[in-house]
């Protein structure tokens, strides 16, 4: 199922582009009872029906079985606005969090099996003992103690990777190695530490150790390569009138190892072959086999058992890990940008079978649904249930997390008056979020400015010393509150971990206040 994503048409299944020779001869039923040919026969219809139901503009799918690419197709369009162009197997998509298992593949080669458990240099967290002992395995399996999505809001405000990683030291920690919380920047910290030890940037390390030797010629860990790709799927969100439009650009370079990879279905098929073949492709050992195997086993418990006797959810190193009723290992990961991307990969190594689904729409659950239907059909002859509403509900619930319990769009019937604007204006500082200013406008009213290249948020009065503003970016959650008290300013949606209070300048905020 999809991991936690913080936030958030008229469909057009405009046909598909199939590369010549992309589809191998139909395979026979596998020894384990999976009828892969049957699942492939229904896959076109499953994709097209899912696009019809969701309106997602473009989809690209790769299926690998027994070290062969048995399905490689694109559906729909790269953009709903001219020039759109059809999606094909070579169309490049942003992977979002499917970047994580790609990155752990790089690290399997860089570190080997033993290197995952060696303490990392250069990672500083709040507890000095944890900083001295934290390993790549701790950070890649989200058991370091960092809180859920630590650092993501700094990225939304425009801070760069260096600032964000250096400020993880302010985040409160849960018990080390006994708690689970999904963190993009904890994951990124591990990758960057490994790259620094090798003396190269992460994007170069990924290219040298995986993309080039595996023949993944259209895959990159740099946003600029995605943006400059001629055959590129634009990211789409659903507008108020129900249509899908390419309205945003999501540059994820700050968390590149965790969410910044771009690729196409053809390259993903090569990567899936490598995953299923112990790090080998075309007879060449590209990735350390022992290191790769280490990424495929549980390293933390990500979800408690849903009921007595049921399995918990596990997380490996960049993978969701579970075992089905037959004891078969199943590896998966989803990716989602609220600003317009949803992706999924699923592998059943015992069946030598895997699927990757890439889409250019904000999360609806379509890629997860396509994968679930495919494996259900292979094993049981048909989908075991209508998966789309199930997965969509999971995304919707996660998108709603973090929203304020107060509806700031509806002020109280008898609000308390605000003080004069001058009581609130000024410069405020915070050791984690940096400097903020509150200024008056020529027409009356207040504006909050946050971030290193300040982003403007007009404040709307709610009651007394409480105001609100509309959040923006990947982690937008609607309106949030801003409360002024005795020379302090608390920004509600920045305060989930107790870090969202700013001191007015001159009140002893200390030398660490402001961008570091």
Per-residue pLDDT of the chain (516 residues; tens, 9 = 90+): 333 333 332 222 222 222 222 233 334 445 557 999 999 999 999 999 999 999 999 999 999 999 999 999 999 999 999 888 999 999 999 999 999 999 999 999 999 999 999 999 999 999 999 999 999 999 999 999 999 999 999 999 999 999 999 999 999 999 999 999 999 999 999 999 999 999 999 999 999 999 999 999 999 999 999 999 999 999 999 999 999 999 899 999 999 999 999 999 999 999 999 999 999 999 999 999 999 999 999 999 999 988 888 889 999 999 999 999 899 999 999 999 999 999 999 999 999 999 999 999 999 999 999 999 999 999 999 999 999 999 999 999 887 788 899 999 999 999 999 999 999 999 999 999 999 999 999 888 999 999 999 999 999 999 999 999 999 999 999 999 999 999 999 999 999 999 999 999 976 544 344 444
| pLDDT attached to residue 257 | 98
Tell me: do 396 and 426 sit in the same domain: no
- Provide CB contacts within 8 A for 412, sequence distance 6+: 462, 463
Is 512 domain-assigned? no
> What is residue 79's three-state secondary structure?
coil
With H, G, I as helix, E, B as strand and everything else as coil, classify residue 500.
coil
Please indicate, yes or no, whether residues 319 and 252 belong to a single structural domain of this protein. Answer: yes
Residues 6+ apart with CB under 8 A from 306: none
111 and 183, same domain (yes or no):
yes
- CATH code assigned at 432: 2.40.128.600
**Do residue 47 and residue 179 come from a single domain?**
yes
What are the φ and ψ backbone dihedral angles of 46, each rounded to 5 degrees?
Answer: -65, -45
What range defines the domain where residue 322 resides?
16-118+128-400
- Among 400, 432, 448, which residue terminates a domain? 400
Tell me, yes or no, whether 393 and 459 share the same domain: no
Say whether both 233 and 299 belong to one domain. yes
Domain-located, residue 351: yes
What are the start-end ranges of the H helices in 158-295? 161-166, 184-198, 202-206, 223-228, 256-259, 265-276, 289-295
Query: pTM above 0.75?
Result: yes
* Same domain, residue pair 426 and 372: no
DSSP 247-265: ------GGGHHHH--EE-H
Examine residue 206 and state whether it is found in any structural domain, yes or no. Answer: yes
The reply to whether 201 falls in a domain is yes
The answer to whether residues 327 and 442 belong to one domain is: no
Does 83 lie in the same domain as 221? Answer: yes
In a domain, 69, yes or no: yes
> Residue 56's closest CA among 288, 340, 335?
340
Residue 270 lies in a domain: yes
Q: Give the closest residue to 9 by CA, choosing from 240, 289, 305, 329.
A: 240
Burial (CB < 10 A; 0-12, 13-18, 19+), residue 468, is: buried
DSSP for 402-439, please give it.
T--SS-TTS--SSPPPP--GGGT-EEEEETTTEEEEEE
Q: Token digits for 417?
A: 């008056």
The CA angle 116-288-284, to the nearest 5 degrees, is: 165
Q: How many domains are contained in the chain?
A: 2
Residue after which a domain boundary falls, among 370, 400, 430: 400
Please report the pLDDT score of residue 308 as a whole number: 87
Claim to verify: residue 367 and residue 440 sit in the same structural domain: no
Q: Which residues pair with 450 in a beta bridge?
A: 436, 455
CA-to-CA distance for 65 and 326, rounded, in angstroms?
A: 19
Q: What is the pLDDT of residue 31?
A: 52
CATH, residue 45: 3.40.710.10
Please tell me the distance from the alpha carbon of residue 176 to that of residue 153, in angstroms, as a whole number: 23
Domain identity same for 24 and 173: yes
In this predicted structure, what is the pLDDT of residue 41? 98
- Given this model, what pLDDT does residue 164 score? 98
- Domain check: are 428 and 385 in the same one? no
Q: Write down the pLDDT at residue 335.
A: 97
Q: Which residues pair with 321 in a beta bridge?
A: 314, 331
The region that residue 269 occupies, defined by phi over 0 for left and psi between -120 and 50 for alpha, beta otherwise, is: alpha
Closest CA to 185 of 100, 113, 121, 296: 100
Residue 413 lies in a domain: no
The DSSP output letter for 362 is S
Residues 54 and 364: beta-carbon distance below 8 Å: yes
14, 78 in Cβ contact below 8 A?
Answer: no
Domain limit, last residue, from 349, 366, 400 = 400
Is residue 411, in this structure, part of any structural domain at all?
A: no
């Amino acid at each position: 199922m999809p991991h936690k994503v913080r936030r958030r048409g008229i469909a057009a299944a405009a046909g598909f582009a199939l590369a010549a020779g992309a589809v191998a001869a139909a395979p026979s039923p596998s020894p384990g009872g999976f009828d892969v040919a049957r699942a492939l026969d229904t896959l076109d219809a499953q994709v097209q029906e899912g696009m019809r139901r969701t309106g997602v503009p473009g989809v690209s799918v790769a299926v690998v079985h027994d070290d062969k690419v048995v399905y490689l197709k694109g559906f729909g369009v790269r953009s709903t606005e001219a020039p759109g162009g059809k999606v094909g197997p070579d169309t490049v998509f942003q992977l979002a969090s499917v970047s994580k298992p790609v990155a752990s593949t790089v690290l399997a080669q860089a570190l080997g099996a033993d290197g995952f458990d060696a303490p990392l240099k250069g990672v500083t967290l709040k507890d000095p003992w944890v900083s001295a002992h934290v390993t790549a395995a701790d950070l890649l399996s989200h058991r370091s103690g960092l809180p859920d999505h630590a650092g993501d809001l700094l990225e939304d405000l425009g801070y760069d990777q260096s600032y964000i990683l250096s400020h993880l030291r302010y985040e409160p920690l849960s018990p080390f190695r006994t708690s689970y919380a999904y963190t993009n920047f904890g994951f990124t910290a591990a990758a960057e530490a490994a790259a620094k030890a090798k003396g190269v940037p992460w994007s170069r390390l990924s290219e040298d150790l995986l993309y080039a030797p595996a023949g993944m010629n259209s895959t990159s860990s740099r946003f600029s390569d995605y943006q400059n790709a001629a055959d590129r799927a634009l990211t789409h969100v659903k507008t108020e009138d129900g249509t899908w439009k390419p309205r945003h650009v999501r540059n994820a370079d700050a968390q590149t190892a965790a969410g910044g990879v771009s690729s196409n279905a053809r390259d993903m098929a090569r990567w899936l072959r490598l995953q299923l073949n112990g790090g080998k492709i075309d007879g060449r050992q590209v990735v350390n086999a022992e290191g790769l195997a280490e990424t495929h086993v549980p390293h933390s418990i990500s979800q408690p058992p849903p009921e007595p006797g049921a399995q918990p959810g596990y997380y490996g190193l960049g993978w969701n890990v579970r075992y089905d009723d037959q004891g078969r290992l199943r590896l998966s990961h989803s990716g989602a940008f609220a600003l317009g991307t949803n992706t999924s990969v699923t592998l059943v190594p015992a069946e030598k079978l895997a699927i990757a689904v890439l889409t250019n729409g904000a999360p609806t659950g379509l890629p997860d649904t396509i994968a679930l239907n495919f494996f259900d059909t292979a094993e049981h002859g048909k989908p075991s249930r209508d998966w789309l509403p199930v997965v969509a509900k999971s995304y919707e619930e996660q998108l709603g997390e973090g929203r304020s319990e107060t509806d700031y769009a509806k002020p109280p019937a008898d609000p308390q008056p605000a003080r004069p604007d001058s009581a609130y204006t000024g410069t405020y500082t915070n050791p984690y979020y940096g400097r903020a200013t509150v200024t008056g406008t020529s027409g009356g009213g207040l504006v909050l400015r946050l971030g290193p290249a300040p982003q403007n948020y007009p404040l709307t009065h709610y009651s007394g010393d409480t105001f609100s503003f509309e959040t923006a970016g990947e982690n937008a959650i609607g309106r949030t509150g801003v409360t002024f008290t005795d020379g302090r300013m608390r920004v509600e949606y920045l305060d989930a971990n107790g870090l969202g209070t700013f001191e007015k300048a001159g009140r002893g905020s200390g030398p660490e206040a402001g961008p570091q």
